[in-house]
Chain A
Amino acid sequence: MLEIKNLHVKLEEEDKQILKGVNLTVEPGKVHAIMGPNGSGKSTLSYVLSGKDGYEVTEGEATLGGVSLLDMEAEERAAAGLFLAFQYPVEIPGVGNMTFLRTAVNAQRKARGEEEMSAADFLKAVREKAKFLKIDGDMMKRSVNVGFSGGEKKRNEILQMAMLEPKMCILDETDSGLDVDAMKLVSEGVNQLRSPDRGFLVITHYQRLLDHIKPDVVHIMANGRIVKTGGPELALEVENNGYADILAEVE
């Protein structure tokens, strides 16, 4: 599904190499987790995959379902089935949450040559999914993420994911800023979306989230590279001993 080969990325504006040869393959139906110290390049990887400006790929490639992502515009990648749940969801004053969601759903459908979703079908789907995530009508009427609490912003990301039905979901520290109940809610939202033809890449610092969203594979990222890959037990090892041992071992 998602295939990243020897990906090297530097900042466009300065001579700073951030990703130094990332290799990673996520198969359909699987959940991969990436853990790693702050500043190791996890968010950068998610941004580069989703097409944010400001980065330059100097080497390597990334494909989704065999199609190269790196030459596409951000919106084309989204239409191709890539979704990023942001570590810091953006506030957009003046754009209603519902309008935003509907515009996004229909823009993707249009890009794929599909018919627009009818207003009634859309409303029905939103209501159902929002209810599950405990997102009330008021949150849908407000401007995108404006005045939302940390937990509300993250739930709103999951709602978008649920409505857009992507093939490949990247979640960047979706657990940060969540209390236990909110984490459970968000995890359940994610688990509902798990399916044999959908892949997940879950970036997190904590084992906590992985108790709820059970990963098939765990990667450790450090200094712009995946330095270790293992099963769910690797996350437990990090939880108990921190990164020091693992980093010393790969040195």
Chain B
Amino acid sequence: MTALTNAQRARQRLAEQKAQVSEARIAALAPAPQAGWSAEARADALSRLRAEGLPHPRDEYWKYTRPESLTQAEAPAAAIFTTDEKGIFDAIDRVNVVFVDGVFSEELSSDLALEGVSIERLAETTSDIHWASGLYGKLEKAGQDPVARPLAALNTYAATDGLLIRVTAKATKPVALQYVHNSETSDAMLHHVVKLEEGADLTLLENGPAAARFNKVMEVDVADGASFHHIRAQGRDHERRAVTHIFARLGTESTFKSFTMTVNGVLTRNEVVVEFTGNDAVAHVAGAAVGDGDFHHDDTVFITHDAVNCESRQVFKKVLKNGARGVFQGKILVKPDAQKTDGYQISQSLLLDDDSQFLAKPELEIYADDVACSHGSTSGAIDDDAMFYLRSRGVPEHEAQDLLVIAFLASAMEEIEDETLRDIMLGRITEWLERRRG
């Protein structure tokens, strides 16, 4: 028997620890369906999960965000935040689908019929054949390379429900997913599959805190010439935790736009993985996050250009105070044949005090020669000169600060194309600022 080196021993120990955590997590789950169209994908995900192990603090990809509370067997409890505030999308004419702590509520949901859109529930489609079998766990699996995303594999394996949405035309109104948090210990896992056929168009809205701990995957296949718009508001509950993944595959001349607003939440990790497979497509991924105190928000984005003349754009802004932490890991990978790629990435944080922190890892990896890619990352305080200028015109300090915060977020908010939705989002951020006036 040859003696192990220290490094080998350390690696082995790490692998053992990861296996232990993973097995404990798997054991705590309700068993996944052994039959039906998703069984194979679930079994495949389980074996991938076992091979990789759940994230560990020593993993490079989890350097800035501690994964323990997301990987441990039991969900840490989260107090339910009560407010008489109306649902953020209540004023929008929409098909509303409600999940309470991850459980579909027929009573609270509207009728799922919508012209050109078929909406089914994952938990209810148990036949052996389904269109979603070509996507479920497939885009997620493709998105595991070159960086592993074990929490997404866990989700593919164990998701208890979710929506299977197939869009064949331009939807006449948005589909809204509303996630209600009602139990202090709920641990929810939902998996959605959205398939936009050629030329189809859908706006998907999501909002709400969902559960004490929420693990959500959404796989989106945007066929040639189709458009997908995604607007999300993550709930205000201070103690909730969430890890979400979006895996999107874009066809020729397709459009994918995703915007997320996050207000509060003790821990959020939003991963977005986009792959361009057809030429002349566009993907915008943007977010505005505001956090105060015990708030950790992580945006992790990976965009792969594997087609000609595609445009990707990432715009992420965070406002952090009282020790809140922001993380951004964003990568643009341009493959050798992805000529005429236009890739843009900006991540910025406004730190309202010295205790708050922004950690960023922007990356470009480019193998094609005819591309225009740029990235930038900054963190800074409120500009004193701008502050004095505003005050010298009579604007009180707190009002001046709010104006400057909103101004800072503006370029992210502008990524919301729909003006009504943008105003709704801005209104919520303004209210957040007003609540925090000392």
CA separation between A164 and B394, bound complex, in Å?
Answer: 9
Most buried by A among B394, B410, B411: B394
Instruction: Determine whether the beta carbon of A94 is less than 8 Å from that of B385.
Output: no
Instruction: Determine whether the beta carbon of B394 is less than 8 Å from that of A73.
Output: no
Say yes or no for B386: interface residue by CB 8 A criterion.
Answer: yes
* A contact residues around B386 at 8 Å (CB): 90-92
* A contact residues around B385 at 8 Å (CB): 90
Tell me the smallest distance from the CB of A85 to a CB of chain B, in Å.
10
A50, A52, A94, A160: the one within 8 Å of B410 (CB): A94
Instruction: Determine whether the beta carbon of A95 is less than 8 Å from that of B407.
Output: yes
- Chain A contributes a number of interface residues (CB within 8 A of B) equal to 31
CA separation between A67 and B396, bound complex, in Å?
Answer: 19
Instruction: Determine whether the beta carbon of A50 is less than 8 Å from that of B392.
Output: yes
- Chain B contributes a number of interface residues (CB within 8 A of A) equal to 24
Q: Given the known A-B contacts A52-B388, A89-B389, A92-B386, are A107 and B394 also in contact in the complex, defined by CB atoms under 8 Å?
A: yes
The tally of CB-CB contacts under 8 A between chains A and B is 84
* A contact residues around B396 at 8 Å (CB): 73, 75, 107, 111
Say yes or no for B395: interface residue by CB 8 A criterion.
Answer: yes
Instruction: Determine whether the beta carbon of B388 is less than 8 Å from that of A74.
Output: yes
* B contact residues around A103 at 8 Å (CB): 395, 399, 403
CB-contacts of A151-172 with B (<8 A) = 160, 164
* B contact residues around A99 at 8 Å (CB): 403
Say yes or no for A79: interface residue by CB 8 A criterion.
Answer: yes
* B contact residues around A107 at 8 Å (CB): 393-396, 399
Say yes or no for A84: interface residue by CB 8 A criterion.
Answer: yes
Tell me the smallest distance from the CB of B54 to a CB of chain A, in Å.
40
Instruction: Determine whether the beta carbon of B399 is less than 8 Å from that of A53.
Output: no
Instruction: Determine whether the beta carbon of B388 is less than 8 Å from that of A78.
Output: no
Instruction: Determine whether the beta carbon of A92 is less than 8 Å from that of B392.
Output: no
Say yes or no for A100: interface residue by CB 8 A criterion.
Answer: yes
* A contact residues around B399 at 8 Å (CB): 103, 107
CB-contacts of B80-110 with A (<8 A) = none
Instruction: Determine whether the beta carbon of A92 is less than 8 Å from that of B394.
Output: no
Which residue of A has the minimal Cβ distance to B395? A107
Say yes or no for B408: interface residue by CB 8 A criterion.
Answer: yes
Say yes or no for A65: interface residue by CB 8 A criterion.
Answer: no
* A contact residues around B383 at 8 Å (CB): 90, 92
Tell me the smallest distance from the CB of B153 to a CB of chain A, in Å.
40
Sampled A-B contacts (10; CB under 8 Å): A78-B391, A78-B392, A90-B388, A94-B404, A95-B406, A99-B403, A111-B394, A144-B389, A160-B393, A164-B394
A-B complex: 8 closest residue pairs judged by Cβ atoms = A94-B407, A78-B394, A108-B394, A104-B393, A74-B391, A90-B389, A94-B410, A95-B407
A residues with a Cβ closer than 8 A to B are: 50-53, 73-75, 77-79, 83-84, 86, 89-95, 99-100, 103-104, 107-108, 111, 143-144, 160, 164
